[in-house]
Chain A
């Protein structure tokens, strides 16, 4: 079969690879009908996530048709249409029982590796390094889905792929980002990053009752898309974000700040940017946490900082004094997708929201390298690429 394969830093290719085979009783094989390139895939391509190997299949947002199920899967049959959540979860452990699916205690066979970096291991993730399980990703014609009786959600009506595909990651991720803010009426939410997750977080914040949403980015076309959700926008290359947010919120600051940027953030001041960039190059830190630092500084006293941007390891110059002295709450996490799939599918079905508004490019899987190129370098107003195998 064909699949998008990591072939080295800043290099992806579509290659012929062996078809997946069943390995466990609760596996299913899914023929992928739609898959997408995620912003967090860029951290892999750029070589910032440890333990990616040449030949690894990328992709963790995908859906398709079940073609084979193992003897342990009773709720799916060949022919079923499913969306597959990106974290792999067993459904039986302490974490899964607490609906903390991205922390499943059983789904990462390489947990020992992750422990060494993070203290304890999170769940396995499709196409996201060996430290997170070494599972091949979904930018392929076929995927083996472990614990297929727990994760995938059946799509039983004729909703098109594009409307439901993002249930696999970015829609629940954006939604969880907003949910972690514990929004109450009258509140203002600021969101760093107007990428697809930031845009869906803005839409979700309104769904959850936010009064105002302010989205921060530097690409006008992404800000324009964020505006479509009803959000106000700030271009951080044009204004001082801290001053602007203070002015917009009567001097108090946003009630909650969503960080949807992650480890490869940018800073408008060259000296500031160079500081973390060079520390990253010398491996003295793994992140460039400008958005995170700014979100913490901007948040109102006693507010919430909700982090869904992907971080890989260690952050330098973390304003802990601000967090402590101003009673901020930091909430973070890879999305517990399984928890949100059913309720969000219902919202899509009822017409409350159509997450396909983030799509800017559609192309066949064979053109994935071009898709990565466009998305990474923000060319051609690229916002979200959907691939069809």
Chain B
């Protein structure tokens, strides 16, 4: 979030710079000490156009931080141009060109910091959370989930869960190329309230999770709340599954919970001819976001 806000600020900078370069190219060339070069105004206008493109990408997108690399490419180009200009000039023009060079270098440093922040965030664990209300008593809902071997009936990416005793279990998930496996252990458990687990270190994909069960307000069934965390290797699993089923990990968990609700309330996963295999993950490929079909010609 912070990174995105930072990127957004950089977008406004691009907008201001681009507008100035397009509206008053000559003033800008004078300020940078390159007003003596033929075609300087044209180049300034082109650079201004490029800045507006950065601005559109950074201000228009939902996740602006990923577009900071476009600004870094632009910075490299500007530094090159200004460096050459400063080297070939003397006196006041050289001083102004060096000032401009320093300013661009400063901006480049900010861009790099922003891009670096994004990269760091990409390496941190992936956290996903979702909840659903199920029209059944808490004890019943808890009991079904606690029998971990039931989980693949509604979790699309799971092939099987085998309980090994002493709170340990072996999980198999279908990957796009190879099957993924890991061993998990229950680390906390309060009957009817919550189950927490984590993968056994060194035994496959690293992940951890907590599912809690609470009474819905006014006797409205049971609220099931799931939090999942994937470590570095788990991230790969999440990404692979996301690629395979064509949806965001958060959406996946929500859909899993919805199928859990179907199983608890209606006895099975509801299937339509549009998704005949019901809970088979590959069919979910077709779950794309809804968009209006183009209007008639």
Please tell me if B84 contacts chain A, counting CB pairs below 8 Å.
Answer: no
Q: Are A24 and B287 also in contact (CB < 8 A) when A106-B265, A109-B275 are?
A: no
Interface stretch of the complex, out of B75-83, B97-105, B106-114, B266-274? B266-274
Please tell me if A39 contacts chain B, counting CB pairs below 8 Å.
Answer: no
In the bound complex, CA of A211 to CA of B286 (Å): 51
Contacts of B287 in A (CB 8 A): 110, 112-113
Please pick, from A24, A46, A286, the residue contacting B296 in the complex, using a CB distance under 8 A. Answer: A46
In the bound complex, CA of A23 to CA of B266 (Å): 14
In the bound complex, CA of A92 to CA of B273 (Å): 22
Contact at B272–A9, with CB atoms within 8 Å? no
CB distance from A271 to the nearest CB of B (A): 19
Contact at A24–B270, with CB atoms within 8 Å? yes
Contacts of B268 in A (CB 8 A): 24-25
Q: Are A312 and B273 also in contact (CB < 8 A) when A72-B267, A93-B265, A106-B262 are?
A: no
Please tell me if B258 contacts chain A, counting CB pairs below 8 Å.
Answer: yes
Please pick, from B278, B289, B295, the residue contacting A113 in the complex, using a CB distance under 8 A. Answer: B289
Please tell me if B293 contacts chain A, counting CB pairs below 8 Å.
Answer: yes
Please tell me if A52 contacts chain B, counting CB pairs below 8 Å.
Answer: yes
Contact at A90–B265, with CB atoms within 8 Å? yes
Please pick, from B247, B269, B293, the residue contacting A47 in the complex, using a CB distance under 8 A. Answer: B293
Does more than half of chain A's interface fall in helix, strand or loop, or is it mixed?
loop
In the bound complex, CA of A93 to CA of B220 (Å): 10
Please tell me if B221 contacts chain A, counting CB pairs below 8 Å.
Answer: yes
CB distance from B281 to the nearest CB of A (A): 13
Please tell me if B124 contacts chain A, counting CB pairs below 8 Å.
Answer: no
In the bound complex, CA of A129 to CA of B81 (Å): 55
Please pick, from B220, B262, B292, B294, the residue contacting A94 in the complex, using a CB distance under 8 A. Answer: B220
A97-125, CB < 8 A from B = 97, 105-117, 124
Contact at A94–B270, with CB atoms within 8 Å? no
B248-290, CB < 8 A from A = 251, 254-255, 258, 261-262, 265-276, 278, 286-290
Please tell me if A131 contacts chain B, counting CB pairs below 8 Å.
Answer: yes
Contact at A23–B291, with CB atoms within 8 Å? no
Please tell me if B133 contacts chain A, counting CB pairs below 8 Å.
Answer: yes
Q: Are A51 and B220 also in contact (CB < 8 A) when A25-B267, A93-B135 are?
A: no
CB distance from B256 to the nearest CB of A (A): 11
Contact at B272–A135, with CB atoms within 8 Å? yes
Residue of A nearest to B220 (CB): A94
In the bound complex, CA of A351 to CA of B269 (Å): 42
B118-157, CB < 8 A from A = 133, 135
The interface centre, meaning the residue of B221, B251, B261, B296 with most chain A CB atoms within 10 A of its CB, is B296
Please tell me if A273 contacts chain B, counting CB pairs below 8 Å.
Answer: no
Contact at B289–A48, with CB atoms within 8 Å? no
Please tell me if A20 contacts chain B, counting CB pairs below 8 Å.
Answer: yes
CB distance from A60 to the nearest CB of B (A): 14
Contacts of B251 in A (CB 8 A): 112
In the bound complex, CA of A40 to CA of B221 (Å): 35
Contact at A94–B133, with CB atoms within 8 Å? yes
A17-72, CB < 8 A from B = 20, 23-26, 46-52, 72
In the bound complex, CA of A110 to CA of B278 (Å): 10
Residue of B nearest to A281 (CB): B295
CB distance from B153 to the nearest CB of A (A): 13
In the bound complex, CA of A9 to CA of B290 (Å): 17
Contact at A312–B292, with CB atoms within 8 Å? yes
Contacts of B255 in A (CB 8 A): 111-112
In the bound complex, CA of A108 to CA of B274 (Å): 11
Contact at A92–B266, with CB atoms within 8 Å? yes
The interface centre, meaning the residue of B220, B255, B261, B272 with most chain A CB atoms within 10 A of its CB, is B272
Residue of B nearest to A147 (CB): B266
In the bound complex, CA of A286 to CA of B294 (Å): 10
CB distance from A243 to the nearest CB of B (A): 32
Residue of A nearest to B288 (CB): A113
In the bound complex, CA of A249 to CA of B68 (Å): 62
Contacts of A106 in B (CB 8 A): 261-262, 265-266, 270
A119-140, CB < 8 A from B = 124, 130-131, 133-136
In the bound complex, CA of A109 to CA of B270 (Å): 6
In the bound complex, CA of A111 to CA of B247 (Å): 13
Please tell me if A283 contacts chain B, counting CB pairs below 8 Å.
Answer: yes
In the bound complex, CA of A131 to CA of B272 (Å): 12
Please pick, from A72, A111, A283, the residue contacting B295 in the complex, using a CB distance under 8 A. Answer: A283
Contact at B288–A92, with CB atoms within 8 Å? no
Contact at B221–A94, with CB atoms within 8 Å? yes
Please tell me if A266 contacts chain B, counting CB pairs below 8 Å.
Answer: no
Contacts of A144 in B (CB 8 A): 273
Contacts of A9 in B (CB 8 A): 293, 296
Please pick, from B272, B286, B291, the residue contacting A146 in the complex, using a CB distance under 8 A. Answer: B272
Contacts of B276 in A (CB 8 A): 23
Q: Are A283 and B267 also in contact (CB < 8 A) when A112-B255, A134-B274, A134-B275 are?
A: no
Q: Could you give 9 example pairs across A and B, Cβ below 8 Å?
A: A92-B135, A93-B265, A108-B270, A112-B251, A116-B290, A130-B286, A144-B273, A146-B272, A281-B296
Which B residues are within 8 Å of any A CB, using their own CB?
Answer: 133, 135, 220-221, 247, 251, 254-255, 258, 261-262, 265-276, 278, 286-296
12 additional A-B residue pairs with CB within 8 Å, beyond A47-B294, A92-B266, A146-B270: A50-B291, A50-B293, A90-B266, A94-B135, A105-B261, A110-B275, A111-B258, A112-B251, A135-B272, A135-B274, A282-B295, A283-B294
